[in-house]
Structure 1
Amino acid sequence: MASKESEAVRQHWAAGRKAVEQGTLDTDQELTDHRWAELTTEPPNVDYLAVPGREALWIVPHNAASDRVLLCLHGGGFVGGSRYSHRKLFAHLARAAGVRALAIDYPLAPGHTHPAPVDAAVDAYRWLLDQDIAPEHIVFTGDSAGGGLAITTQLRARSLGLPLPAGAMPFSPWVDFEAIGASYDSNRDRDAYFHRDLVRGLAWILVGPDGSLRDPFVSPLYGDLTGLGPIYIQVGGDEVLLDDARQLAEAAEKAGVEVRLDLFPEMQHTFQMAAGRAPEADDAVQRMGRWVRPVLGL
């Protein structure tokens, strides 16, 4: 049975759906980020450092390994979210892993369409490599849109001749841009916010009228995942994007990639945002921390 603390996530998404339906959705980025970040408690013993010249934030837990890094890619449907909306979530994850994290911003639609987000993520990865961080000491992670980016950024980077990172931890990943998964029907009445038409609408905002939802740098389901490092996927049992996670796991397995998929019953999309508040979120974050340490060689 879902904890009462996890209800905050459901209420967050339910309020968002109501705002969409009533046409009162707040478009002020700072206020939106604040309301999203309210779901997450402030973790102790973490420093946040601006990165001069870059739209990025170093997240540095006390006593963290300095030569291992999580490259953190926020969610928000490619139209919202930022390093600020997700900094506390990624800080909880960095603490669980015992490493530094780099949370970045990327250009958002509709002002910036594909491939702007994935190219910005590749640029951040290239910058990390230029800081003498070894690729085998970097893991990509992100939620929702950022979860998909954690995979497509690897494919884009490889196409440009860059080495692959050690692995990836996408949670509630958005990878089925055509929204054809069966869970869009089976979880239609359980998901507090998302539905097929909304997701398809966001997809077309990202790619633009002349884009393709099957571009492998948009959807990794149509990319070659062969040779990627291990992937750990988490997903909520009540979200319509449940089959996105299953499809990604299946595609990775077919490509010979080591993959783990954990399903959390009764949880909503990106329920991990309740880290420090809900036991399910804390459990999920700790699982990621335990999984990623040996991947990073710790």
Structure 2
Amino acid sequence: MSIQARLVKAFSRRALRREGLAGDRLVRHLRRAFNNTPVIRLIPRGIRTERIDTLAFRGDYLGHSDPKVTVLFFHGGAYIAGETRTYHNLAGRLAKQLQGEVYLPTYPFAPEHPFPAAVNRCLEAYKYLLDQGKDPANIVIVGDSAGGGLSLATLLHARDKGLPMPRCGVLLSPGTNCFPNEELLKRNDPTDDMLSADTIRNVIEVYVPNPDDRSHPYASPGTADHTGLPPLMITACNEEVLYGDALDAKASAEKAGVPVEWLERSGLFHVWPIFVPFVPEANQDLKRIVQYIRRQR
């Protein structure tokens, strides 16, 4: 493990990981942590940035002058928090290495806007790209953590609406199940430096307050029927508390005959690929993600 990865783990355990926070206290902590993340913004040369603010789409754009691939990226933040600017380093590198463009939409947060508000807004973002004339064969849906869950839910929602499927999806340590594997939660709780098992359980209460909604395919997309979805790449650290959610998504996809590229790491941390260009392991695996997207042509 690199020194940089060790530093991220140490910082995360001190600043992010919490036990015993629920309801408003959990919301306040996550918003302080995820909305004020100290990130040095390093955009690759040749990538322009723009803010889009329309009724159909609100968010950030980072793109190459002649994009060949369109990435729709849903950011993480436990369905409660998060800022698109935190992802500019990753988005810029995706755009540069793919000779593409990345759209980073904002979406409504719980508890003010519980499930299914975020899922509906994410589908609107995908429809916006289609309405702009983007070829679905050149669109890739990517998301990390809660954004990974929203990515999978968006694919299911788009399929159910009869919309054309994108080229593929990439899910980075996705949160996909309102009924998490308790055995894996307890096993990995001591080794996860960012999230605790307690946080996962309490986030579910905030995001999907109605227990009857938690079995809905868009609330628990990891265990839904994945028939008709495009190929998926799923990354996970086997020491994080959301490891079971990633395994659920993998199993459901394979059961439906959806090709899955599985990237598992040990000794790292939740959503490590977003820490480009500062963490060597993130840089290494970003190349693998880019290669995967290219292969799906």
- How does the TM-score come out when normalised to structure 1? 0.89
Report how far residue 87 of structure 1 moved.
2.2
Q: Match for residue 245 of structure 2?
A: 244
1:169 touches 1:233 (CA, 8 Å); kept in 2?
A: yes
1:52-201 equivalences in 2 (<5 Å): 52-53=53-54, 54-61=57-64, 64-65=67-68, 68-201=69-202
Q: Secondary structure at the match of 1:5?
A: helix
Q: Percent identity?
A: 27
Distance 1:46 1:179 in 2: 39
Report how far residue 50 of structure 1 moved.
1.4
2:136 touches 2:167 (CA, 8 Å); kept in 1?
A: yes
What are the Cα deviations for residues 122-159 of structure 1, in whole angstroms up to 9, with x where unaligned?
Answer: 00100100011111111100100011111110111222
1:61 touches 1:99 (CA, 8 Å); kept in 2?
A: yes
Q: What amino acid sits opposite 1:7 in the alignment?
A: R
Gaps of 5+ in 2: none
Distance 1:240 1:18 in 2: 12
Report how far residue 225 of structure 1 moved.
0.4
2:123 touches 2:158 (CA, 8 Å); kept in 1?
A: yes
2:177 touches 2:223 (CA, 8 Å); kept in 1?
A: no
What are the Cα deviations for residues 165-184 of structure 1, in whole angstroms up to 9, with x where unaligned?
Answer: 12100010111222225331
Distance 2:290 2:34 in 1: 28
What number of residue pairs does the alignment pair up?
Answer: 292
Distance 2:5 2:75 in 1: 20
Q: Residues 25 and 136 (structure 1 numbering): CA distance in 2 closer, same or farther, change over 3 Å?
A: closer
Mean CA deviation greater in 139-148 or 205-214: 205-214
1:37 touches 1:86 (CA, 8 Å); kept in 2?
A: no
Q: Residues 232 and 28 (structure 1 numbering): CA distance in 2 closer, same or farther, change over 3 Å?
A: closer
1:143 touches 1:270 (CA, 8 Å); kept in 2?
A: yes
Q: Match for residue 6 of structure 1?
A: 5
**2:35 pairs with one of 33, 44, 49:** 33
Report how far residue 70 of structure 1 moved.
0.6
1:97 touches 1:288 (CA, 8 Å); kept in 2?
A: no
Distance 2:248 2:33 in 1: 34
Report how far residue 10 of structure 1 moved.
1.1
Report how far residue 188 of structure 1 moved.
1.8
Q: What amino acid sits opposite 1:126 in the alignment?
A: K
Q: What amino acid sits opposite 1:253 in the alignment?
A: E
Gaps of 5+ in 1: none
What are the Cα deviations for residues 216-266 of structure 1, in whole angstroms up to 9, with x where unaligned?
Answer: 011113322011110001112321111221221111101100001111121
Q: Match for residue 51 of structure 2?
A: 50
Distance 2:115 2:17 in 1: 28
Q: Match for residue 277 of structure 1?
A: 278
Distance 2:186 2:42 in 1: 33
Q: Residues 239 and 213 (structure 1 numbering): CA distance in 2 closer, same or farther, change over 3 Å?
A: same
Q: Match for residue 16 of structure 1?
A: 15
2:34 touches 2:83 (CA, 8 Å); kept in 1?
A: no
Q: Which has the larger helix fraction?
A: 2
Q: What amino acid sits opposite 1:130 in the alignment?
A: D
Report how far residue 271 of structure 1 moved.
1.2
Report how far residue 28 of structure 1 moved.
9.4
Q: What amino acid sits opposite 2:3 in the alignment?
A: K
- How does the TM-score come out when normalised to structure 2? 0.90
Q: Residues 36 and 268 (structure 1 numbering): CA distance in 2 closer, same or farther, change over 3 Å?
A: farther
Distance 1:230 1:24 in 2: 35
Mean CA deviation greater in 100-109 or 80-89: 80-89
Distance 1:18 1:159 in 2: 36
